[in-house]
Amino acid sequence: MRSSMRLGLFAAAAALTASSAAFAAPTFINILTGGTSGVYYPIGVGLSQAYSAGIEGSRTSVQATKASVENLNLLEAGRGELALALADSVADAWNGEEEAGFKKPLKKLRAIASTYPNYIQVVASEESGIKTLEDLKGKRISVGAPKSGTELNARAIFKAAGLSYEDMGKVEYLPYAESVELIKNRQLDATLQSAGLGMAAIRDLASTMKIRFVAIPADVVASIGNSAYQASTIPAGTYDGQDTDVPTAAVANILVSQEKVSDELAYQMTRLMFDNLNRLSTAHSVAKDISLETATQNLPIPLHPGAERYFKEQGAL
């Protein structure tokens, strides 16, 4: 009898220990961003801080990557819980556009929210003489890492303007900071960068030498034929020496997760982002453009059920 009681007590204790261990298991949140000189990275750091403070037992990390395309492939492979990516890349991933860097449709992806817009920013050194997109012919330009969201934007813009890489004198596939350094050293004439306004790399270039922003006219944007691209403007004064508005294209950035992330975690990640917009704005000013009013608009993939629950609570769906 006593032996049976002891066995029962041991079993109960073991069950309690296992339950406690499961309850105390850390929640890992790996946030996939972009290059450290871009905008995704500081936004990722801001989110990481909010999650560390607001999700008990969470262990957050921020991973620098080649941005949109790499992020989406990593999410599909279960190697991250959250990522930032351009809306056109997200649509290509869902549809399995191989030319865009997706060998098959990525059907495990789930949207958390549409966030702030990326602006296509074409910047040239003043001494290059580049004033229009047509002037890029024969010039040396960097278009972002191969098959990155930025590089896909470059292909779309140039095609709509009747240009191709073959028209350029030299095409480099480099991240933001490296592109800027080559312009400073007179080894490049221009760079196309897709990012939030006020990005560090362009601010650095503008403070170092005279530059010119190349306009992307509204008719070129319309010729892309993709609703992810909208005609927009880089307001005067965004960068040193930029004293006029610059017409350009904008593409929304989407915060993306994947189906294996629990509904509760997705809910908390969504809630804490909107509860901490001031913190994110401190990390980077583009976060001021994140709002509940636009968070669920024009999403090319399904909402994560956890995020959907939050938006329903807020009356945003």
pLDDT of residue 199: 87
Give dist(CA 152, CA 177) in Å, integer. Answer: 18
Looking at the structure, tell me whether residues 234 and 309 fall in a common domain.
Answer: no
Looking at the structure, tell me whether residues 243 and 168 fall in a common domain.
Answer: yes
pLDDT of residue 35: 86
Looking at the structure, tell me whether residues 164 and 190 fall in a common domain.
Answer: yes
Asked if the structure places residue 153 within a domain, the reply is yes
Instruction: Spell out the residues 6+ positions from residue 104 whose beta carbon is closer than 8 angstroms to its own.
Output: 96
Looking at the structure, tell me whether residues 87 and 188 fall in a common domain.
Answer: no
Instruction: Spell out the residues 6+ positions from residue 268 whose beta carbon is closer than 8 angstroms to its own.
Output: 51, 54, 55, 306
Collapsed DSSP state (helix, strand, coil) of residue 92? helix
Looking at the structure, tell me whether residues 100 and 137 fall in a common domain.
Answer: no
Asked if the structure places residue 263 within a domain, the reply is yes
First to last CA, the chain: 61
Asked if the structure places residue 181 within a domain, the reply is yes
pLDDT of residue 24: 55
Looking at the structure, tell me whether residues 134 and 243 fall in a common domain.
Answer: yes
pLDDT of residue 28: 97
Number of domains in the chain: 2
Pick the closest to residue 110 from 293, 261, 275, 294 (CA basis): 261
Averaged pLDDT, groups of 10, the chain, 317 residues long: 47 44 73 90 97 96 94 98 95 94 97 96 97 98 89 94 97 93 97 90 95 97 91 96 96 97 98 96 94 94 98 95
Pick the closest to residue 302 from 257, 253, 252, 250 (CA basis): 257
Q: Tokens 């080649």 identify what position?
A: 66
Q: Which CATH number characterizes residue 204's domain?
A: 3.40.190.10
Looking at the structure, tell me whether residues 247 and 146 fall in a common domain.
Answer: yes
pTM of the model: 0.81
AA letter at 175: P
AA letter at 114: S
Both tokens of 78, joined, read: 């279960």
Looking at the structure, tell me whether residues 127 and 160 fall in a common domain.
Answer: yes
pLDDT of residue 14: 46
Asked if the structure places residue 12 within a domain, the reply is no
Residue 214's domain comprises: 118-251
Q: How far is CA 253 from CA 83, 226, 243, 314, in A?
A: 10, 15, 27, 21
pLDDT of residue 5: 45
Looking at the structure, tell me whether residues 49 and 171 fall in a common domain.
Answer: no
Both tokens of 195, joined, read: 């990012």
Looking at the structure, tell me whether residues 133 and 240 fall in a common domain.
Answer: yes
pLDDT of residue 1: 44
